[in-house]
Structure 1
Amino acid sequence: MPLAETLTQLRVGNQKFLIDFYQRSRHLFARWAQRKHRLAAPQAHELLQDTLLDFYDQVADGRITKLPDDLRAFIYGMAQQRLAAQVPAHVPLPAAEAQRRQRLLAQFNQLGADCQQVLTYFYFHSYQFEKMGVKMGFPNATVARLQKSTYLRKLYELVRGGYEPGWAVGTGAADKG
């Protein structure tokens, strides 16, 4: 799978790439962790799992926008940083962050289908405006750019409390400009 496609798949929640990476790498990683940090295999496997989840979160929230050329070295480096910072294993998100993400998802779900699709194409699939315009049936890339800006503003207004709950925005052909 091409690197750009891998990131896109991760952004939309498909973790198959990470699962495959874990299955291929866990024994080698455990040997490295034993030699370098004196971790037993079960602790090394947990460390690799937690590190891959950190990597996934960073891809999903946009902190990682390009797949590293040497992913294995990058993941090992992340694991080493986790150990140096003494980050405990399997720590759930802080309650405030989990609630923030749930509220944002609920607000996103209040948007109309077109609005959700445009924002998903742009932010999760990394579509250029030309491709987004074709996919959405817009006359050109400028309309796609304007629609993305309009829909992002609508989401922002939902987040700020500007719309009534249950009112779907961006649902019809009139929104296509």
Structure 2
Amino acid sequence: MDLFADQEADHLFAAQPLAARMRPKKLSEFVGQQHILGEGKLLRRLIASGRVGSILLHGPPGTGKTTLAHLIASEQNSELVTLNAISSGVKDVREVLAKARDRVSAGDPRPLLFIDEIHRFNKSQQDALLADVESGIISLIGATTSNPYFAVNAALISRSQLFGLEPVSVDDMRTLLRRAITDRVCG
């Protein structure tokens, strides 16, 4: 073991932006979005039951879509495969889907495929997902800042549950600021 590994890890952690350092590690640490994550709400129940299928998260930037995708994977002990629609193409999608098919056929749990900015995928890129979403090879978590009814094709919408995220409230922002103030690197 490298004598400096812990110190290097601390330095890398400290170099991250505050938002990355403060990102929750457990769903119980997630602040806000009580309309979909509060006690008894659908998304909370799906996560608790381990039965999150394909979902589309839509809302303004900075509302927790990416963080929520990571937390869902963590809570379900699932592998999270991430693609960004801005820099990924059909070839990337097909490679991820082929690996997922291999994993599922070997008896492993289906992975979660998180596609950030899914509205940037064109119709053929979105269509490439359909068969594996429909057959349950992957669970898709798409994130978009656009209205999904205009930006995501109808076939994907019909195979997904939609959850709208709202801007962070003033009270939730206060909670987050209190956490940041007590952060070991900043505080």
In the superposition, the TM-score normalised over structure 1's length comes to 0.25
Larger Rg: 1
Of structures 1 and 2, the one with the larger relative CO (CA 8 A, separation 6+) is: 2
Higher-helix-fraction structure? 1
In the superposition, the TM-score normalised over structure 2's length comes to 0.24
